[in-house]
């Protein structure tokens, strides 16, 4: 099924890692942030975008899927089956227990090697607020307050619009400012490979 014509995608420079358990690292479970809160997007041509905290509260049980590169032919999982979606102080977090498929095994290795380290999500907007710039030269701000529908979360190779780096955010800043000690211990980063 195709996305709604109103569907939007945003890409984040966010760390994807493997789930940490008491007995070690589970390399069959990937996790990361598909979206982060209160961070400005890149310039969309005179305006920037922010996602408000709690914006995903109404869509955490949506029939969303995890895809690789937003490709409906490369399904990694489905919410409530082998995908877990949650919202915390940092943003929309996802965990995927990878299926036993060839491309999932390939993706696991690409993440382990640090080649894949970006995330994305596809969505529609339910509530938004626009703020005019206070000073000349500043940008309009679009704040997404509520997501209407969540279609997918996706580890991705590169943003769809690499020249504009649409919606790219630095997860490292989120780690420093927002990440709790427990979350930092749980999320195994792969920055050493960058």
Coil, helix or strand at residue 182: helix
Q: In whole angstroms, what is the distance from residue 188 CA to residue 183 CA?
A: 9
Cα separation, 159 vs 90, whole angstroms = 21
pLDDT tens digits, residue range 49-66? 889 999 999 999 999 999
Tens of pLDDT along 123-142?
899 999 999 988 988 889 99
Would you say residue 166 has pLDDT above 90? no
> Comparing C-alpha atoms, which of 68, 63, 99 is closest to residue 82?
99
pTM (2 decimals)?
0.71
**Token representation of residue 26:** 């589970």
pLDDT of residue 43 exceeding 80: no
Which of the residue ranges 18-22, 120-124, 156-160 has the most confident prediction, judged by mean pLDDT?
A: 120-124
Q: Identify the residue with better confidence: 6 or 96.
A: 96
User: What is the structure's pLDDT at 5?
Assistant: 57
Lowest mean pLDDT among 20-29, 50-59, 109-118, 146-155: 20-29
DSSP letter (8 states) at residue 136: T
Write down the mean pLDDT value for the chain.
74
pLDDT at residue 23, as a whole number: 54
Q: How confident is the model at residue 184 (pLDDT cuts 50, 70, 90)?
A: very low
Q: How far apart are CA 194 and CA 190, in angstroms?
A: 8
State the pLDDT at residue 171: 29
Confidence at residue 33, expressed as pLDDT on a 0 to 100 scale:
84
Given the structure tokens 């509530």, which residue do they identify?
A: 127
Average pLDDT over residues 84-93: 92
Kindly write down the DSSP assignment for every residue of 101-137, as one continuous string: -HHHHHHHHHHHTTS--EEEEEEEEEEEEEE--SSTT
Q: Give per-residue pLDDT as tens, 91-113.
A: 899 999 999 999 999 998 888 88
What pLDDT does residue 57 have?
Answer: 97
């Amino acid at each position: 099924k195709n996305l709604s014509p109103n569907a939007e995608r945003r890409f984040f420079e966010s760390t994807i890692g493997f789930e940490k358990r008491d007995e070690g690292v589970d390399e069959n479970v990937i996790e990361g942030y598909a979206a982060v809160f209160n961070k400005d997007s890149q310039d969309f041509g005179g305006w920037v975008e922010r996602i408000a905290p709690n914006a995903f509260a109404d869509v955490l049980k949506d029939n969303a899927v995890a895809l690789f590169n937003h490709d409906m032919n490369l399904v990694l999982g489905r919410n409530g089956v082998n995908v877990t979606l949650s919202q915390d102080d940092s943003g929309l977090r996802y965990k995927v227990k990878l299926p036993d498929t060839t491309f999932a095994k390939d993706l696991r290795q690409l993440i382990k090697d640090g080649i894949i380290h970006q995330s994305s999500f596809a969505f529609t907007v339910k509530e938004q607020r626009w703020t005019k710039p206070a000073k000349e030269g500043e940008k309009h701000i679009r704040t997404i307050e509520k997501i209407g529908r969540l279609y997918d979360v996706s580890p991705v190779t590169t943003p769809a619009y690499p020249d504009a780096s649409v919606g790219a955010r630095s997860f490292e800043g989120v780690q420093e400012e927002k990440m709790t000690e427990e979350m930092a211990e749980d999320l195994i980063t792969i920055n050493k490979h960058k």
